[in-house]
């Protein structure tokens, strides 16, 4: 095979202050890497863009090491094996990997998950059948523990995680109220996903509209947002409500505490007096050993049409920074995926 192929890589040029800018990224070209013993060379096809990546761009303490200046942005990818130095993988195999924002990546074979080589929509391994779907499934069912007849409220309801949360809760017999940005997304959540109601968080009387939609209070709140959305949810929580804390996209660009009064006392008093369970989680750290359980059940639901999904696919690695910046502003509609290259089964 040729060794002259160029590997385009999107690297972190500088750490953002507040919202990321195009200048925080830099695209470079390097020689195509070569796999070592026990490794494989991957040609990335689809790249997942997710909100958690904003935290990796900062150097503050977190659950994972930050991306270094000049390093390739990390991400999950669907890839084809281009060259293999491991007996378990052959050229053309379809895999789920942590390939990053680049055309080619070298990976240890043990870090890969094999996918069906004839999978009709491989990008779903980055969405409803991948990390976002897994996050929705475990956060809702293990932490939220919804019961038939309860009211479940889902923030970012049209997104990759929230859309699945609501549909699973509906399968469990709950009443589902979504929160999304704009009439188009709210209509989709109700008409296509089957939520009972959806409130536009941009509406002038958002807190009042949410209260009217949750006349019996809120039993489970799946948190993806924080900010003003959580402020409206907090007084509506019922006694012994459960809050799976998945994300806080409203705060990912914060560089200091928000202005206004300190509301920590209100939060902690509410948690205490209403005996509310609020638990954060890191999906693969906390539930990695249950991925097979998720995939078996979710795969069945998707095949049966019980879980619907929407993808927002952007073509071209060069467009990843713009797409990522837009996602943090709510610009995507569905699971955001970059199609790096056409799929083909051999190099």
For residue 315, list its beta bridge partners: 339
Q: Which of 4-8, 73-77, 103-107, 336-340 has the lowest mean pLDDT?
A: 4-8
283 burial (CB, 10 Å; 0-12 / 13-18 / 19+) is buried
Tell the residue number behind the tokens 């459960």, with chain if given: 242
The pTM for the full model equals 0.83
What is the C-alpha separation between 83 and 94, in angstroms, rounded? 12
pLDDT of residue 314: 96
* Model pLDDT for residues 103-145, shown as the tens digit of each residue: 999 999 989 988 888 788 999 999 999 999 999 999 999 999 9
Give the CA distances from residue 107 to residues 79, 292, 298, 301, in Å, rounded to whole numbers and listed in that order. 11, 22, 27, 31
228: CB partners within 8 A, 6+ apart: 201, 206, 250
What pLDDT digit, counting tens, does each position of 277-327 carry?
Answer: 999 999 888 998 998 899 999 999 999 999 999 899 999 999 999 999 999
Q: How far apart are CA 144 and CA 150, in angstroms?
A: 11
**Does residue 345 surpass a pLDDT of 60?**
no
Reply yes or no on whether the pLDDT at 64 is more than 80. Answer: no
Confidence band, pLDDT 50/70/90 cuts, at residue 332: confident
d(CA 190, CA 181): 13
Predicted confidence at residue 2, as pLDDT, reads 39
pLDDT score for 217: 98
State residue 257's pLDDT score: 61
Interatomic CA distance for residues 197 and 192, integer angstroms: 12
Average of per-residue pLDDT across 205-211 = 97
Are 77 and 98 in contact, with CB atoms under 8 Å apart?
yes
pLDDT score, position 346: 41
Cβ atoms < 10 Å from Cβ of 111: 12
* Radius of gyration of the chain, Cα coordinates, nearest whole angstrom: 21
pLDDT band per the 50, 70, 90 thresholds, residue 251:
low
At residue 233, φ and ψ (nearest 5 deg) are: -75, -40
Is 148's pLDDT higher than 60? yes
Tokens of 300: 């069945």
Determine what percent of the chain is predicted with pLDDT higher than 70. Answer: 94
What is the distance between the alpha carbons of residues 81 and 45, in angstroms, rounded to a whole number? 11
Confidence of residue 264 (pLDDT cuts 50, 70, 90): confident
What pLDDT sits at residue 21? Answer: 95
**Is the CA virtual torsion 261, 267, 272, 274 positive or negative?**
positive
What is the predicted pLDDT for the residue at 3?
43
pLDDT band at 51 (very low <50, low <70, confident <90, very high): confident
Q: How far is CA 238 from the centre of its chain?
A: 27
């Amino acid at each position: 095979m040729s060794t002259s192929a160029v590997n385009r890589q999107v690297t972190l040029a500088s750490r953002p202050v507040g919202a990321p800018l195009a200048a925080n990224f830099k695209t470079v070209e390097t020689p195509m890497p070569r796999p070592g013993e026990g490794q494989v060379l991957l040609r990335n096809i689809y790249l997942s863009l997710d909100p958690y990546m904003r935290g990796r761009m900062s150097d503050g303490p977190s659950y994972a090491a930050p991306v270094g200046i000049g390093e390739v942005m990390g991400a999950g990818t669907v890839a084809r094996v281009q060259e293999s130095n491991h007996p378990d993988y052959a050229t053309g195999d379809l895999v789920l990997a942590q390939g990053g924002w680049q055309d080619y990546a070298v990976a240890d074979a043990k870090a890969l998950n094999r996918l069906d080589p004839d999978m009709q929509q491989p990008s779903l391994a980055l969405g409803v059948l991948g990390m976002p779907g897994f996050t929705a499934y475990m956060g809702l069912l293990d932490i939220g523990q919804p019961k038939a007849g309860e009211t479940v409220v889902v923030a970012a309801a049209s997104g990759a995680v929230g859309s699945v949360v609501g549909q699973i809760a509906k399968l469990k017999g709950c009443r589902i109220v979504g929160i999304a940005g704009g009439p188009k997304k709210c209509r989709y959540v109700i008409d296509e996903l089957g939520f009972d109601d959806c409130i536009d968080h941009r509406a002038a009387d958002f807190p009042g509209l949410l209260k009217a939609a949750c006349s019996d209070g809120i039993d489970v709140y799946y948190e993806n947002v924080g900010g003003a959305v959580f402020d409206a949810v907090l007084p509506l929580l019922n006694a012994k409500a459960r809050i799976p804390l998945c994300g806080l996209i409203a705060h990912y660009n914060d560089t200091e505490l928000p202005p206004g009064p300190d509301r920590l006392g209100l939060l902690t008093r509410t948690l205490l007096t209403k005996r509310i369970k609020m638990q954060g989680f890191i999906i693969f750290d906390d539930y990695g050993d249950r991925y097979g359980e998720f995939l078996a059940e979710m795969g069945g639901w998707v095949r049966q049409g019980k879980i619907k999904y929407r993808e927002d696919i952007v073509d071209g690695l060069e467009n990843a920074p713009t797409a990522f910046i837009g996602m943090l502003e709510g610009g995507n509609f569905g699971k955001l995926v970059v199609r790096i290259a056409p799929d083909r089964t051999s190099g």
